[in-house]
Amino acid sequence: MINIKHYTSPIGDILLASRNEKLIGAWFEGQKYYLANVSDEIIEKDDETLIQAKKWLDSYFNGEKPLIDELELAPVGTDFRKEVWKILCEIPYGKTISYKDIADKIAKKRGIEKMSSQAVGGAVGHNPISIIIPCHRVVGSKGELTGYAAGIDKKKFLLKHEKYYSVADLYKK
């Protein structure tokens, strides 16, 4: 069974979902892949996980910098997608990384010559826990704002909210 609750953010309503005391979803209403990979029975009910997720989002939108590990996350996806989402969780607040940088990290970790940036983009786009797993911090190789399942306007808002303004801030590890 999946518990859901709605959260009203400054840029739109977000549906929060939990299963077994772990957050499995945070989707903007109407975004691509809304409720993707959710096949269990859904009930509208607050639980401790959803209460904590709402507090985390309140903190974030109040300009604080809550840590991802404050929440128990259990995004549903393939091993490859989970590998990409784990890298997203490492991007510092107010910083960005490119799809190519993520692809290069995965290739290096796997000991292969090359990984597809497009495959990484697909995984980023299917991130089921928006904002908390910060897919909005992923940009094109020249720092351009490309794609966001909830809309580029929301991506711009989130990066501006985090005071990210320049390509010179690109995250490299």
Query: Do 55 and 38 contact (CB within 8 A), yes or no?
Result: no
Sign of CA dihedral 81, 86, 91, 93: positive
The phi and psi torsions of 30 (rounded to 5 degrees) equal 85, 0
**2-70 homologous superfamily:** Methylated DNA-protein cysteine methyltransferase domain (3.30.160.70)
Architecture of domain 79-169: Orthogonal Bundle (1.10)
What is the set of active-site residues? Answer: 135
Domain assignments of the chain as residue spans, ordered by start: 2-70, 79-169
pLDDT digits (tens, 9 = 90+) for 74-99: 999 999 999 999 999 999 998 999 99
pLDDT tens profile 7-37: 999 999 999 999 999 999 999 998 887 777 7
- Secondary element (H or E) of residue 38: none
- Specify the pTM: 0.90
